[in-house]
Amino acid sequence: MKLKIYTILSLVLVMMAFSSCLDASSLMDKEDVGDLYEKDVFKDPTYARYFVNDIYYSLPKGAEVPGSWNGAYLDCATDNGEARNLESDAQRFNDGNWNAESVPLGSIWSKYYASIRACNKFIENYDYIEERDGVATRIDLEYLRAQVIFLRAFFYAELLKHFGGVPLLDKTLHFGSPELKEAKRATFDDCVKYILKECDDAIAVFRSVNQDWASNNFGRANDGVALALKAKVLSLAASPLFNRPNDYPQYDSQDPNKDLWRYSDYDKERWKDAAKALKAVIDLGRYDLYKKTNGTKSAYETYFVTRNTVEESIFPFLKGPTIDIYYQNLPFNFLLVRGKGGPVCYNLPTQDLVAAYEMKNGMLPEQEGSGFRPLHPFSGRDPRLEATIWYDEATFCGIEFQTWRRDIDSEKPWGKDYIRGYSRTGFFLKKFMDKDLNPTENVTVPNTYPIIRYADILLLYAEALNEYYDDPSSVPDDAVCWAISEVRARAGMPDVRTTFANRGWALTQENVRNLIQNERRVEFAFEEYRFWDVRRWMIGGNTQKVVHEQDIILKEDDKTKEYGVKEIEKRSYEDRMNLMPIPQSEINKNKNLIQNWGWSPRVID
């Protein structure tokens, strides 16, 4: 009888979780399971834990375009990458072939509102959860509650990043509820304040229960994670997309609703607030850059193929063992990946990304005296290049990559990895793959996707200080140079002042800004950062014009190689694309939802 009751309760919980986490704002259109069943389910702390675990599953799980079936990473919708599949969701961003009725990230709105509703449901039923000896103490339950408060803040932060201000729903709304059908967008400012308060509330509860953050709870939220989210939200809010001077070129300056998606004014103090929050994360003394090496792998390379990276991975999503990362990114002609058939090389780094990697002395490849060798273009470069990208003549599992071609008139075989339509950039993605493992053998790799990592906190801290102070040299404790240099040192690159001296650059705000933007590009390549960075910096109109491939020709006479650069794709980018449009389906359901600037508002009765 007891087993039967538990089975029924399990089924009810699964129904609740499924309707709460998978159905979205249409999730909010569903009738609830009866209150009696909800209370019965939430009495049991074991099921309450299951419910929270289910909410965690809504977190970002990797750098792929959310909902994409073809494994293309979001960086392929930037100048960092090119999707092999020209019909991929990432490619739709590049073509400009998307609108409010067909948003590549359209499921984000419904997905995160579904998760928010699940958080609301847990909080509303929290008082029914019972303490049970050997199962859960009140401290354990309070820790659960703090996690859910944080998760709700996280989901709202994701919506803020995509859309600007959104409706703030802090209670479960039922089908037909006027509050749901007529919910209005909160202003950008109000959404930021709401998220910050949620983070503060979560931090207070986390610290009251004093849970171990480092070992048993790795992958779960804690006070440090909430502090980091708060800092990232403040950094986002201080960025040019949301925090612009009145005389800044503003495509939306005359829109009476602009306070829904950005601040209506510029305030330099927002950068100071961001810097203060970022410093609070640093001052915890809890986090550091991962600096352990493994054989021939650098610390940077090792970080992405290691499970236990607690010092740097502030908030990771722990993925189960898989071989998919190899299947998705190895060259098409590579050995069959066990159980998957031939690899499909979904994600192709561009020549534009490769060009962003400095020489190991910090100089730019094009500078005189940098040490760049045209016939050996990958030699002597920032070590992160080798850790991130497979290039011509690189080897894996004893197999050499060949992305060269012969002269167009030659009838002799071309490089085995030069297949038009597959390796069209001349490069393959190496990041996240362990070069010491053979994917053709009986191995799987437990990947860890860092949603928030310490290197991001350091570079955001440098950015916030650089934007607040007019002169980076005047920043107390040389903090701008220190934070950037920390990240560069782990990669094996010289510090900021040495780098600038080698380049002949002055330590100005603009030069430091350019360094930070490039540092973020190479440090976080194919981790999803670039897509959002170019938007918050409002530089997409420059970066998304055209991308290039490396064209390598093997000469017939002396067998030497000639390295060239060719344009492979012109891209489309408009100012309105800095923010995602609210899905048209949501506008149709709620006439009070005001669309973001530039995305044709249309309401269907």
Final residue of a structural domain among 545, 570, 586: 545
pLDDT digits (tens, 9 = 90+) for 517-549: 999 999 999 999 999 999 999 999 999 999 999
Q: Are residues 395 and 459 in the same domain?
A: no
Give yes or no for residue 484 having a pLDDT over 90.
yes
Instruction: Work out the average pLDDT over 431-448.
Output: 82
Asked whether residue 404 falls in the same domain as residue 502, the answer is no
Per-residue pLDDT for 33 more than 50?
no
> What pLDDT is attached to residue 274?
99
On the question of pLDDT at 5 being above 50, the answer is no
**What's the chain's average pLDDT?**
88
pLDDT, mean of residues 3-22: 41
Q: Is the residue at 135 inside a domain?
A: no
pLDDT value at 66 more than 70: no
400 with 508, same domain: the answer is: no
Residues 335 and 436 in one domain: yes
Q: Are residues 501 and 402 in the same domain?
A: no
One DSSP character per residue, 474-509 reads GSGGGHHHHHHHHHHHHHT---HHHHHHHHT----H
Does residue 445 sit in the same domain as residue 458?
no
Give a yes or no: residue 509 inside a domain.
yes
Q: Is 349 part of any domain?
A: yes
pTM metric for this prediction: 0.92
Q: 124-138, 214-228, 289-303, 581-595: lowest mean pLDDT where? A: 214-228
Q: Are residues 427 and 458 in the same domain?
A: no
Domain count for the chain: 2
| Crossing angle between the packed helical segments 138-163 and 188-209, to the nearest 10 degrees | 160
Instruction: Find, among 275, 286, 254, 346, the residue nearest to 62 by Cα.
Output: 346
Domain identity same for 349 and 433: yes
- The verdict on residue 176 lying in a domain is no
**Residue 504 domain-assigned?**
yes
What DSSP string describes 63-96? SBPTT-SS--BGGGGTTTEEESSTTSHHHHHHHT
Give the separation between CA 194 and CA 277, rounded to whole angstroms: 16
CA atoms within 13 A on the CB side of 514: 11
Q: Which tokens belong to 465?
A: 């200080």
Which of 567, 330, 425, 358 has the alpha carbon at shortest distance from 83? 425
Residues 519, 397 share a domain: no
- Determine, yes or no, domain membership for 94: no
Last residue of a domain, one of 434, 449, 464: 449
- Asked if pLDDT for residue 201 goes beyond 60, the answer is yes
- Whether 497 is in a domain gets the answer yes
116 or 399, greater pLDDT: 116
pLDDT at 443: 74
* Between residues 431 and 406, the one the model is more confident about: 431
Regarding whether 480 and 438 lie in a shared domain, the answer is no
Looking at the domain assignment, is residue 466 inside a domain? yes
> Residue 444, class by beta-carbon neighbours within 10 Å (0-12 exposed, 13-18 middle, 19+ buried)?
middle
Segments in 373-478 forming alpha helices (H): 383-388, 454-468
Both 316 and 406 in one domain: the answer is yes
Domain boundary among 389, 417, 449: 449
Within this chain, do residues 384 and 433 fall inside the same structural domain, yes or no? yes
Domain ranges, residue 511 = 454-545
